[in-house]
Structure 1
Amino acid sequence: MAYLSREGDVFVVYLGNEGQTDSENRFHPDWINEFHGLLDEVEASEGPAALVTTATGKFYSNGLDTDWLFANLDKMHGYLDRVHSLYTRLLAFPMPTVAAINGHAFGAGAMLATSHDFRVMREDRGFYCLPEVHLGMPFTVGMNALLTERLSNQVALEAMTTAHRYGADQAIAAGIVDDKADAEALLGAAVARASILAGNRKPNLPVIKRALHAKALAGLATPTTPENLAFAAG
């Protein structure tokens, strides 16, 4: 499960199991609940603060827990809404957020990174990729809203319809991420960026974010139903 540490004014949420470096950090329902619980702890803090998310090893996050999903198809729509809840929470989070993308960010994991204010990516390994077109999977109404609002139109088209794998330099050029660092410097670079912004944790910050991301948030608030998922697939 995810776990929390703190470096000065910066909270760091690790997406994987403590001491384990090979987890894909997929969105199992229990993992989603644990992540929300850690965000609750961060929000309960006082004073200047910022949030960094990262992981260890090969993956930042490999997205949906497809093993669980295919074994629980009757719960699919509610599950996808719970996935959306993480994106919604991060988009309007009441402090600055930075994703330190240590490895592959695929599918829902890429969207998780996209939900942060800023992104720093490992420069020598790992891809940002939306593989849904190759998997025969639709984007939900909420996912489509998130991606088309956070990425430029042409980048969204390339990423969503070709499953292009973006390394750090291409991701920076496309405006998907903001900076890069080598593996050893990645977390420090993300924490440094977040630390500079920690003083911006003020009551007006989430108000600004909710207005800025109003269209994406509205899409993410749309419940996933058989009808609109079928429409997305069609």
Structure 2
Amino acid sequence: MPYLERAAGAAQVFVLHLGTEGQTDGENRFHPDWIAEVHGLLDEVEASEGPAALVTVATGKFYSNGLDTDWLYANFGEMHDYLDRVHAVFHRLLTFPMPTVAAVNGHAFGAGAMLAISHDFRVMRADRGYWCLPEIHLGMPFTVGMNALLTGRLPNQVCVRAMTTGHRYSAGDALAAGIVDESADAETLLDTAVARAAALASNRKPNLAVIKRALHAEALAGLAVPTTPENLGFAG
């Protein structure tokens, strides 16, 4: 399960690890328990005082491999509520009342790719890992909220390529497309993300969340739309 620590040498930066402590190759999928734990840790970060910033990261092959499809197929009757809970994670990060940086250490697929772009900034491992939206190949639609998030955070032609072809973006491709802001070697990835976050920690002021809500108004409105069979395209 995810866990939290303060960054070494930069105590004002909280590092939210998406995987289980000591586990190096988890997929960090959006299981309902994982979602609940993330919210609990974000509550803890928000309860802190003074300058602060947030970095998310994982270890090994994956940043996040997206929806927990095993759980979803076993609990298909809960699909709409589950997707709304996924949207709530994106919504919370878009409006988080301190600077946020995703340290994309490995593959960010589907909802994991969307998790990354819900942060203010992204640093991606240079030598390995892809940012990818594979829904076209999986026969899965994008929800209203997911579409709003992607089109609100990325240029239109990037969305066309990413959403309709499932292109796998390496760090170089993602940097050129504006999906990420910086790349770094595996050994320096977290330090690079923490340094970026620490430089912004003093921007944790009451007006920051207000600015973010206005900046991302359309994406937030889409993420707030309840998921139904009709807006998933499954209605008969």
Q: In 2, distance between residues paired with 1:133 and 1:169?
A: 23
Q: In 1, distance between residues paired with 2:164 and 2:86?
A: 21
| Aligned position for 1:103 | 106
**How many aligned residue pairs are there?**
233
| Aligned position for 1:3 | 3
| Aligned position for 1:204 | 207
- 3-state DSSP class of the match of 1:9? strand
Deviation by residue 1:76-128 (Cα, 9 ceiling, x = unmatched) = 00000000000000000000000000000000000000100000000000000
The alpha-carbon deviation at position 230 of structure 1 amounts to 1.5
The alpha-carbon deviation at position 227 of structure 1 amounts to 1.1
- Work out which of the residue numbers 40, 47, 63 in structure 2 matches 1:37: 40
Q: CA RMSD in A?
A: 1.0
Q: In 2, distance between residues paired with 1:53 and 1:77?
A: 26
Does 2:220 correspond to 1:217? yes
Letter in 2 for 1:200: N
- Work out which of the residue numbers 155, 165, 169 in structure 2 matches 1:162: 165
Q: In 1, distance between residues paired with 2:25 and 2:158?
A: 30
The alpha-carbon deviation at position 138 of structure 1 amounts to 0.2
Q: In 2, distance between residues paired with 1:22 and 1:11?
A: 22
Letter in 2 for 1:33: A
The alpha-carbon deviation at position 36 of structure 1 amounts to 0.3
Deviation by residue 1:186-223 (Cα, 9 ceiling, x = unmatched) = 00000000000000000000000000000000000000
Q: In 2, distance between residues paired with 1:178 and 1:109?
A: 17
| Aligned position for 2:65 | 62
| Aligned position for 1:18 | 21
Does 2:94 correspond to 1:86? no
- 3-state DSSP class of the match of 2:232? helix
Q: In 2, distance between residues paired with 1:157 and 1:90?
A: 24
221-230 vs 136-145, which deviates more? Answer: 221-230
- Work out which of the residue numbers 137, 156, 174 in structure 1 matches 2:140: 137
TM-score, length-normalised on structure 2? 0.98
The alpha-carbon deviation at position 135 of structure 1 amounts to 0.2
Q: In 1, distance between residues paired with 2:58 and 2:39?
A: 16
Letter in 2 for 1:128: W
- 3-state DSSP class of the match of 2:233? helix
Q: In 1, distance between residues paired with 2:113 and 2:226?
A: 21
Letter in 1 for 2:38: F
Q: In 2, distance between residues paired with 1:22 and 1:113?
A: 18
Runs of 4+ in 1 over 6 A off after TM superposition: none
Overall identity of the aligned pairs, in %: 79
The 5 Å alignment of 1:43-54 reads: 43-54=46-57
- 3-state DSSP class of the match of 1:94? coil
Can you give the 5+ residue segments of structure 1 that lack an aligned partner in the other structure?
none
Q: In 2, distance between residues paired with 1:122 and 1:22?
A: 16
- Work out which of the residue numbers 77, 80, 91 in structure 2 matches 1:77: 80
Does 2:124 correspond to 1:121? yes
Q: In 1, distance between residues paired with 2:34 and 2:161?
A: 30
TM-score, length-normalised on structure 1? 0.98
Q: In 2, distance between residues paired with 1:230 and 1:75?
A: 17
